[in-house]
Structure 1
Amino acid sequence: MKIGFFVFANMTQLDFTGPLQVLGRAPDADVSVIARSLAPVKTDGALTLLPTHDVTTAPDLDLVCVPGGFGIDAVARDDVSIEFLRRQGAQAQYVTSVCTGALILGAAGLLTGRRATTHWAYHDLLTLFGAEPVKQRVVRDANLFTGGGVTAGIDFALTILGEIAGADYARTVQLGLEYDPHPPWNSGHPDTADPAALAAARKRYATAVAKTRAAFSQAPDKR
Structure 2
Amino acid sequence: MQIVMLAYPDMTQLDLTGPFEVFSRFPEMKIEIVWKGQDPVRDASGLRIIPSTCLADSPPADILFVPGGPGQLALMEDEEVLAFLRQQASGAAYVTSVCTGSLVLAAAGLLTGYRATCHWQSLPQLYLFGATPVSERVVIDRDRVTGAGVTSGIDFALVLAARIFGDELARAAQLTMEYDPKPPFSGGSPVHAEPSLTQTVVAAAAEFQALREAAARRAAAKLAG
TM over 0.5: yes
Letter in structure 1 aligned against 2:203: K
What residue in structure 1 maps to residue 16 of structure 2? 16
Conserved? CA contact 1:99–1:148, under 8 Å? yes
What residue in structure 2 maps to residue 138 of structure 1? 138
Letter in structure 2 aligned against 1:24: S
Conserved? CA contact 1:36–1:55, under 8 Å? yes
The 5-angstrom pairing of residues 122-133 of structure 1 reads 122-133=122-133
What residue in structure 2 maps to residue 78 of structure 1? 78
Return the alpha-carbon distance in structure 1 between the equivalents of residues 78 and 224 of structure 2: 13
Distance 1:222 1:206, change over 3 A: farther
Q: Deviations over 1:55-112 (max 9, x none)?
A: 1000000001100000101111210001100111121001000000000000111111
Single out whichever of 79-88 and 21-30 deviates more from structure 2. Answer: 21-30
Tell me the SS of whatever aligns to 2:21.
helix
Higher relative contact order (CA 8 A, sep 6+): 1
What residue in structure 1 maps to residue 91 of structure 2? 91
What is the CA-CA distance between 1:135 and the residue it aligns to? Answer: 0.7
- Aligned CA RMSD, in angstroms, stands at 1.1
Runs of 4+ with >6 A deviation: none
Conserved? CA contact 1:26–1:165, under 8 Å? no
Tell me the SS of whatever aligns to 2:51.
coil
What residue in structure 2 maps to residue 221 of structure 1? 223
Conserved? CA contact 1:11–1:69, under 8 Å? yes
Return the alpha-carbon distance in structure 2 between the equivalents of residues 7 and 38 of structure 1: 10
Letter in structure 1 aligned against 2:62: D
TM, length-normalised to structure 2: 0.96
Return the alpha-carbon distance in structure 2 between the equivalents of residues 205 and 36 of structure 1: 29
Tell me the SS of whatever aligns to 2:33.
strand
Tell me the SS of whatever aligns to 2:193.
coil
Tell me the SS of whatever aligns to 2:139.
strand
What is the CA-CA distance between 1:29 and the residue it aligns to? Answer: 1.1
Tell me the SS of whatever aligns to 1:189.
coil
Return the alpha-carbon distance in structure 1 between the equivalents of residues 215 and 59 of structure 2: 29
The 5-angstrom pairing of residues 1-223 of structure 1 reads 1-219=1-219, 220-222=222-224
Conserved? CA contact 1:63–1:92, under 8 Å? yes
Letter in structure 1 aligned against 2:216: F
Tell me the SS of whatever aligns to 1:31.
strand
Return the alpha-carbon distance in structure 1 between the equivalents of residues 95 and 79 of structure 2: 19
- Structure 2: gaps of 5 or more residues: none
Conserved? CA contact 1:61–1:92, under 8 Å? yes
Letter in structure 1 aligned against 2:46: A
Conserved? CA contact 1:10–1:42, under 8 Å? yes
